[in-house]
Amino acid sequence: MVAVMCRSFIVAAALALSGAPLPGHAQETDPLPSWNDGTVKANIIDFVTRVTTEGSSDYVPEQDRIATFDNDGTLWVEKPLYTQFVFVVDRVKAVSNEHPEWKTKEPFKSALDGNTEKLLTYGEQGAMVLITATHTGMTTVEFNEIVSQWLKTARHPRFDRPYTDLTYKPMIELLDYLRANGFRTFIVSGGGIAFMRAYTEQSYGIFPWQVVGSSGKTEFRMWDSSPTLVKLPDLLFFDDGPGKAEGINHYVGRQPIFAFGNSIGDKEMLEWTANCKGVCFMGLVHHDDAQREYAYGPDSDVGRFPVALMEQAMASGWNVVSMKNDWNVIFSWGKPEAASPAE
Amino acid sequence: MVAVMCRSFIVAAALALSGAPLPGHAQETDPLPSWNDGTVKANIIDFVTRVTTEGSSDYVPEQDRIATFDNDGTLWVEKPLYTQFVFVVDRVKAVSNEHPEWKTKEPFKSALDGNTEKLLTYGEQGAMVLITATHTGMTTVEFNEIVSQWLKTARHPRFDRPYTDLTYKPMIELLDYLRANGFRTFIVSGGGIAFMRAYTEQSYGIFPWQVVGSSGKTEFRMWDSSPTLVKLPDLLFFDDGPGKAEGINHYVGRQPIFAFGNSIGDKEMLEWTANCKGVCFMGLVHHDDAQREYAYGPDSDVGRFPVALMEQAMASGWNVVSMKNDWNVIFSWGKPEAASPAE
């Protein structure tokens, strides 16, 4: 692993002062206008320039330019709750008429009562019960339609906008910049693969076959005389922590040279990426902007970013993005008046 | 489902007689020179022209042009044994020194004795025992290297050439033709995903992330102080029969509009593809050329193509390729003197 750090910032600064164009794929305009000038932005541009400059010892052929991104908290908002979790609760409410027993049965009762605090006490096991009840027993086409419809109407409690508006503009620019430089961009998330695939193409320009996530089993079955796929209540793959490296191997089949996350669940993906032969880039988004988005980290229920991970990032030369300092805008829809900042 | 059949042949013939260029993406030269003029070739060209002609009611945007191909017997030779099975037997021999007990323990004994007939009597269960013994316990990088080395030295018993020479030239042309027309091409095989990924990029121009196959679990682990992925002896996914439709959903996340197979294991993939909204193309390679390749079908141990499947193909308007009549050349290395034809 070759860390691309301060040196690159100095190179970029020197080039800027000299008026010389950036080497390699010269950028006539700033490819990352939502990023403030600083170490991380300079490191990104330096890294991309190195691996795309033919003849350079750091050159990487296009088919090996694999970039993987976590989703929740890295590409879009994950506070106060993971979007998929909000969907699950809304879905429990939407179909509760068919399940009168849920009124008294946990964790359904807490979901119906909107008692998020109590709901979270049921942990992963409780979440799995709700996911199984709301994500299975229908065809894959029906589920996609349910998610698509929900995304059209659901609103984030603080920003009062559709969740698909809450993608980070600087990261969308980064995805575009990488793809313009021959990278393939993949999402690698602990979230459900079928849930994500309902919007990743429109929101990120990432096709379904470049989405890696947790998934349940499906079964090929004749349904109303038509061949179709039915979603079953059995877990096939859990794509978090070590599962992210395993998931990339299963789905992508190639080690990334560029990876971005924001929490402890991304640690192994970053470690695996860092174990590269040539140059590689590891990044973590740090949520330190309560005014424009949220500020959270070590003690958060969602997107936990423990002190040990920050220390590992610093020691390893990984790039930690300060949302507050590195991004001049957070969302594509501009700079709204901040509502009540959480945490 | 709209079958594209004889009508398209008549259209193509009429166009050829009129001297008019083919509509849509006009082909200055024949895109499929290894295919003899006939119904299947005409249907392929007609289908591709329809879905790529903007303004046509059959137009399909690029992101929905998904084409899936079986591998063994569809893209390369599968007789007298699946290539991966030959690899397994060779691998058992190569590491047998470390396992003296294999000399007397089945199915290892039959593998070491080269007694293929007896080996096949142990069926899928026996194959799984051998696959587990030869495909697991090493890192993913080590396994890839083992397969790559084997492919360099192993020779097909009849054609006396590396297995990677035994890809079908007409199918390589078809893959190229589809990609040139905005299709994404995927392999969907019952074979092992890690085995295939060692050569699909070079042989077919298909990247690892566009290969769907059977797979075992892996585990992220520190190995000699480096983060790495170790292959475990547990099945994750079996990609055959109904599993092919399920596998396409898991990996690709989108229903194909073009699918090609050659055996009963491809039935559900073709049925699912045929359940399309617009036009779609379903194809089956029929091995009827003992002189240049092999002739087999209903009673074959590998690549079984039962009478019922042929009847279903005929009734459903699927395209059945006669290797003998539809292909003027089989392999990229020309037209060798036929060795002893099998079956």
Is the CB of A185 inside 8 Å of chain B's CB atoms?
Answer: no
Give me B100's structure tokens. Answer: 């003296």
Beta strands in chain A (DSSP E): 66-69, 184-192, 211-223, 226-237, 258-261, 281-286, 319-322
Q: What is the spatial distance between Cα B23 and Cα B21, in angstroms, rounded to a whole number?
A: 6
pLDDT value at position A11?
39
The answer to whether A319 and A43 have CB atoms below 8 angstroms apart is: yes
Higher pLDDT, residue B35 or B23: B35
Q: What is the spatial distance between Cα A73 and Cα B195, in angstroms, rounded to a whole number?
A: 35
CA of B158 vs chain A CAs: smallest distance (Å): 32
Q: What is the spatial distance between Cα B87 and Cα B78, in angstroms, rounded to a whole number?
A: 13
pLDDT value at position A334?
59
Residue B335 has pLDDT above 60, yes or no: no
Report chain B residues whose CB lies below 8 A from the CB of A205: none
pLDDT value at position A153?
97
The answer to whether B71 and B191 have CB atoms below 8 angstroms apart is: yes
The ipTM value here is: 0.89
Minimum CA–CA partner of B62 in chain A: A207
Residue B5 has pLDDT above 90, yes or no: no
Give me A148's structure tokens. Answer: 């698509």
What pLDDT band is residue A340 in, cutting at 50, 70 and 90?
A: very low
Which of B227, B251, B274 is closest, CB to CB, to A275? B227
Is the CB of A7 inside 8 Å of chain B's CB atoms?
Answer: no
Closest CA to B46 of B2, B5, B1: B5
Give me B105's structure tokens. Answer: 């323990």
pLDDT value at position A8?
41
Residue B146 has pLDDT above 60, yes or no: yes
Closest CA to B118 of B133, B108, B103: B108
pLDDT value at position B333?
81
pLDDT value at position B69?
98
Contact A211 B186 (CB under 8 A): no
Q: What is the spatial distance between Cα A203 and Cα A1, in angstroms, rounded to a whole number?
A: 32
Closest CA to B76 of B243, B206, B262: B262
Minimum CA–CA partner of A1 in chain B: B226
pLDDT value at position A326?
98
Is the CB of A277 inside 8 Å of chain B's CB atoms?
Answer: no
Residues 106-145 on A with a CB inside 8 Å of B are: 140
Higher pLDDT, residue B8 or B57: B57
Residue B340 has pLDDT above 50, yes or no: no
What pLDDT band is residue A108 in, cutting at 50, 70 and 90?
A: very high
What pLDDT band is residue B222 in, cutting at 50, 70 and 90?
A: confident
Helices (H), B83-240: 83-94, 108-113, 116-120, 123-135, 140-153, 169-180, 193-197, 200-204
Report chain A residues whose CB lies below 8 A from the CB of B272: 220, 227-229
Is the CB of B242 inside 8 Å of chain A's CB atoms?
Answer: yes
CA of B64 vs chain A CAs: smallest distance (Å): 10
Distances (CA, A) of A93 to A103, A107, A166, B146: 10, 12, 24, 53
CA of B165 vs chain A CAs: smallest distance (Å): 23
Q: What is the spatial distance between Cα B147 and Cα B340, in angstroms, rounded to a whole number?
A: 28
The answer to whether A155 and A161 have CB atoms below 8 angstroms apart is: yes
CB-based contacts of B25: which residues, under 8 Å, 6+ apart? B48, B49, B52, B53, B181
Q: How far is CA B153 from the centre of its chain?
A: 22
pLDDT value at position A7?
39
Is the CB of A252 inside 8 Å of chain B's CB atoms?
Answer: yes
Minimum CA–CA partner of B216 in chain A: A250
Contact A226 B275 (CB under 8 A): yes
Minimum CA–CA partner of A232 in chain B: B246
pTM, entire model: 0.89
Distances (CA, A) of B90 to B94, B191, B213: 6, 17, 21
Higher pLDDT, residue B67 or B22: B67
Report chain A residues whose CB lies below 8 A from the CB of B245: 220, 227, 229
Which of A209, A229, A245 is closest, CB to CB, to B246? A229
Q: What residue type is A341 in one-letter code?
A: P
Report chain B residues whose CB lies below 8 A from the CB of A251: 209, 251
Contact B220 A140 (CB under 8 A): no
Element (H, E) at A127: helix A123-135
Report chain B residues whose CB lies below 8 A from the CB of A252: 208-209
pLDDT tens digits along A251-298: 999 999 999 999 999 999 999 999 999 999 999 999 999 999 999 999
Phi, psi dihedral angles at B153 (to 5 degrees): -110, -30
CA of B193 vs chain A CAs: smallest distance (Å): 8
Contact B246 A219 (CB under 8 A): yes
Contact B237 A242 (CB under 8 A): no
pLDDT value at position A13?
39
Minimum CA–CA partner of B63 in chain A: A207
Which among B200, B209, B238 is the top mutation candidate for probing chain A, defined by the most A β-carbons within 10 Å of its own β-carbon?
Answer: B209
